[in-house]
Structure 1
Amino acid sequence: MQVEFWFEFASTYSYPAAMRVERLARAAGVDLVWRPFLLGPIFGAQGWNDSPFNIYPAKGANMWRDLERICDDEGLTLTRPPVSFPQNGLHAARIALVGADEIWGPEFVRSVYRANFAEQKDISDMAVLAAILTAQGLDAGDVMARATTSENKERLKAQTAEGIARGLYGAPSFFVGDELFWGNDRLEAALKWA
């Protein structure tokens, strides 16, 4: 069996999940599929125009404290993004979708999460994303050109629609076949199921 890791770059809890999922899947002997998607259409369908962590201030305050504890346990740096939360991860998701088919993809995903939640960088800025790609020894111009083709844009829309059709409602989420596991704290359960 394989585990599909569905993630959104604006998702706080996807940060620790992205930093540990590959290591844990490898240790469990489970194949891993990286599936970037967009939460905006899902939230919009529920009548939200913002993160539920902003809509409900008490929930948001607790989320940040909870995330601090999780990141501390995992040895991850956490610094709240300097620009509005959640940051726009559209361009990063398009690039991650290209990378999902290539060996550099997982490290790109982790680097974007570090940029957002540890380094206080604006991940909607194409220059920030280009610097991440260049630091990985990639031709940023080539990768970004492939990410912005109409075919890749439609592929991301289709992947998001697929997630919605399969019952996806938040990030991070993990699918093992038709079984849905939601949340960073359900990663181990998904791997055990697989």
Structure 2
Amino acid sequence: MRIEAVSRDLGVSIVWRPFLLGPIFKKQGWSTSPFNFYPAKGRYMVRDMERQCERYGLPFTLPEPFPQQSLLAARIACRGRNEAWVGAFTRAVFMAEFGQGLDISDEGLLAAILLEVGAPAKQVLAEAHAPAAKDDLRAAVAEAEERGIFGAPSFVAPNGELFWGDDRLEIALEAVSETV
């Protein structure tokens, strides 16, 4: 929700690289989020997300089920990664899921979000269902694995250094801005 504003303030450009965590988790032997496997960690994560949302003035609703099926949303984001609307789309999907508890696998909801952010919804949805979109997302997951990504949000500096978590956003962007 914050990356574009913070990066703009620091003069750092962003390259969006949408991916899915599910396949990365599966390679670690997990069939769901680690927050579901470890109840104490899951309760802490929910409370921490509540605190973060309070801090930033954002609503928070844990979606049911958690995690949600995000395949189509990820394909759309992957397809739009170089489009001007990708940041707004990403924020709107997160707000729908974690702000309102809506089902982000609902194609109608995603079409409405695309229209809201100025994207050609019909064209983008058709492209997201095409075999090329499936291949692109698989390649994005493989790239995330190659970069050592294990969670989201993750930020990778041009030198390959990985930063993970919302609490590392400013540190990541400051590290990059020092080299710009």
* TM-score normalised per structure 1: 0.87
Q: Which residue of 2 aligns with 1:52?
A: 34
| Aligned match for 1:189, one of 171, 175, 179 | 171
Q: C-alpha separation between the residues in 2 aligned to 1:175 and 1:103?
A: 20
Q: Which has the higher strand share?
A: 1
Unaligned runs of 5+ in 1: 1-18
CA contact (8 A) 1:38 1:160 kept: yes
SS at match of 1:181: strand
Higher relative contact order (CA 8 A, sep 6+): 1
Task: Write the deviation string for residues 57-102 of structure 1: whole angstroms up to 9, x where unpaired.
Answer: 0000011111111110011110121x21000111001111122111
Q: C-alpha separation between the residues in 1 aligned to 2:62 and 2:20?
A: 21
SS at match of 1:164: helix
CA contact (8 A) 1:43 1:50 kept: yes
Superposed, 1:26-45 pairs within 5 Å as: 26-45=8-27
Q: Which residue of 1 aligns with 2:55?
A: 73
**Deviates most, 46-55 or 147-156:** 147-156
Whichever residue aligns with residue 31 of structure 1, its letter is S
Q: C-alpha separation between the residues in 2 aligned to 1:136 and 1:181?
A: 28
Q: C-alpha separation between the residues in 1 aligned to 2:118 and 2:12?
A: 28
Kindly tell me the number of residue pairs found equivalent between the two proteins.
175
Q: CA deviation at 1:105?
A: 1.1
Q: CA RMSD in A?
A: 1.0
Q: C-alpha separation between the residues in 2 aligned to 1:130 and 1:40?
A: 23
Identity of paired residues, percent?
A: 53
Q: CA deviation at 1:136?
A: 2.7
Provide closer, same or farther for how the CA distance between residues 156 and 65 of structure 1 changes in structure 2, counting only shifts above 3 A. Answer: same
| Aligned match for 1:162, one of 128, 132, 143 | 143
Q: CA deviation at 1:188?
A: 0.8
Q: C-alpha separation between the residues in 2 aligned to 1:40 and 1:127?
A: 23
Q: Which residue of 2 aligns with 1:23?
A: 5
Provide closer, same or farther for how the CA distance between residues 137 and 173 of structure 1 changes in structure 2, counting only shifts above 3 A. Answer: closer
* Pair 1:108 & 2:107 matched: no
